[in-house]
Amino acid sequence: MAAGKKNKLRKMLSPPATSPPPPSVHPEDDDLMDDLFSQLDSKDQNVQAESAAVLTEMQVHQPATAKKDSKSRHKARQVRKAAAIADHFSPTDADADARIERETAEEKRIIHRTCDDLGLQIHEINPDGHCLFSAIADQLNILGILPDAAANYTTVRRAAADYIFAHPDDFVPFLPSSTGEDGTGATSSGLMTPSEFDAYCRTIRDTGTWGGEPEIMALSRAYRVPIHVIQGGKPPIVEHNPVDGAPASSHIVHISYHRRMYGLGEHYNSLRPKTGIANTIKSMLHSNT
């Protein structure tokens, strides 16, 4: 981090000589927050912990805002991620730590057992907020559905967002309003308003917000391929299939869903055929096209 920004941050977080209201984070400090957000994905745990702690402190001093655009929602998710990381590195109860370790070991055991049964192995995906889309892109590339140049999270994010946007009736029932059932403009059932739905689709397409069940369902339909999610819970395999009547691929996308193994929240990996098989499958698929 640049020295000027460090000095600015130190000044902002230092206790004042008197007792005026706590300092707030002004718009001109956005670049500082962006730098800290980018460091949340650092492989250096000390950098992660320091950045998360600073972001959490900055958020405490930041006034609440009613702004609900896609940028502010993405920043709110990043702040929650920072809080989770800060909490992860904070001293915790020994019994709770032991329980989490047991759950982590059990999740790992179940996922690896299922992978072994299917002849699959975990291909690590970068935990950067794009993991679901990157994992599916990797799978679509192996299956010959996406060429190398298009096998990236940008392509897959756009496909998910475009499909959801084109089929609102299929997805709005699964997307609650950000303001809740009693929020301004919310429907009587508490679902997204049309403007919220538009913003949601833009967020999925253009930001690093995490993807989940709606996006998996959309991608299964958009690419007409079953997507099977291997997890440590029950059932061990969650199947997402294209809509009835749509031509479906004879191949299956396999990804893994991890709640505990990565410590800092939910994560998806790609599940490739075991060594040697992946290249054989890819070569056969390309030779038939």
SS3 sequence of the chain: CCHHHHHHHHHHHCCCCCCCCCCCCCHHHHHHHHHHHHHHHCCCHHHHHHHHHHHHHHHHHCCCCCCCCHHHHHHHHHHHHHHHHHHHCCCCCHHHHHHHHHHHHHHHHHHHHHHHHHCEEEECCCCCCCHHHHHHHHHHHHCCCCCHHHCCHHHHHHHHHHHHHHCHHHHHHHCECCCCCCCCCCCCCCECCHHHHHHHHHHHHHCCCCCCHHHHHHHHHHCCCCEEEEECCCCCEEEECCCCCCCCCCCCEEEEEECCCCCCCCEEEEEEECCCHHHHHHHHHHHCC
Q: Examine the domain organization and report whether 209 and 166 are in the same domain.
A: yes
> Inter-axis angle of helices 70-88 and 194-206, to 10 degrees?
60
- What does the pLDDT read at residue 222? 96
And the tokens for 52?
């998360």
Q: Examine the domain organization and report whether 251 and 122 are in the same domain.
A: yes
- Read off the pTM: 0.64
Q: Of 22, 53, 88, which one is at a domain's C-terminal end? A: 88
pLDDT tens, position by position, 174-202: 888 765 554 455 555 678 899 999 999 99
Average per-residue pLDDT for the chain = 76
pLDDT tens, position by position, 124-174: 999 888 999 999 999 999 999 999 999 999 999 999 999 999 999 999 998
Q: Of 33, 55, 88, which one is at a domain's C-terminal end? A: 88
Q: Examine the domain organization and report whether 80 and 103 are in the same domain.
A: no
- What does the pLDDT read at residue 12? 45
Host domain of residue 277: 97-287
Query: Cβ contacts of residue 224 below 8 Å, gap of 6+?
Result: 242, 246, 247, 248, 249
Q: What is the sign, positive or negative, of the torsion defined by CA atoms of 216, 217, 221, 226?
A: positive
Q: Of 88, 123, 138, which one is at a domain's C-terminal end? A: 88
Q: What percent of the chain has pLDDT over 90?
A: 43
Q: Examine the domain organization and report whether 27 and 169 are in the same domain.
A: no
pLDDT tens, position by position, 207-240: 999 899 999 999 999 999 999 999 998 999 999 9
The backbone torsions φ and ψ at residue 85, rounded to the nearest 5 degrees and listed phi first, read: -65, -45
**Higher pLDDT, residue 259 or 114:** 114
Q: What percent of the chain has pLDDT over 70?
A: 56
Look at residues 162, 160, 138, 161 and name the one whose alpha carbon lies nearest to residue 150: 138
Q: Examine the domain organization and report whether 180 and 39 are in the same domain.
A: no
- CATH code for the domain in which residue 281 is found: 3.90.70.80
119 φψ region: left (φ > 0), alpha (ψ -120 to 50), beta (else): left
**Higher pLDDT, residue 2 or 241:** 241
The total of structural domains in the chain comes to 2
Q: How far is CA 167 from CA 70, 86, 163, 213, in A?
A: 20, 38, 6, 15
Check pLDDT > 70 for residue 69: no
Q: Examine the domain organization and report whether 26 and 64 are in the same domain.
A: yes
pLDDT tens, position by position, 13-49: 444 444 444 444 444 455 555 556 655 555 555 555 6
Q: Examine the domain organization and report whether 121 and 53 are in the same domain.
A: no
Distance between CA atoms of residues 185 and 169, nearest Å: 18
Q: Examine the domain organization and report whether 55 and 189 are in the same domain.
A: no
- What does the pLDDT read at residue 25? 41
Q: Examine the domain organization and report whether 17 and 105 are in the same domain.
A: no
Q: Examine the domain organization and report whether 276 and 169 are in the same domain.
A: yes
Strand partners, 123: 270
Q: Examine the domain organization and report whether 67 and 204 are in the same domain.
A: no
Check pLDDT > 50 for residue 11: no
Q: Examine the domain organization and report whether 23 and 117 are in the same domain.
A: no
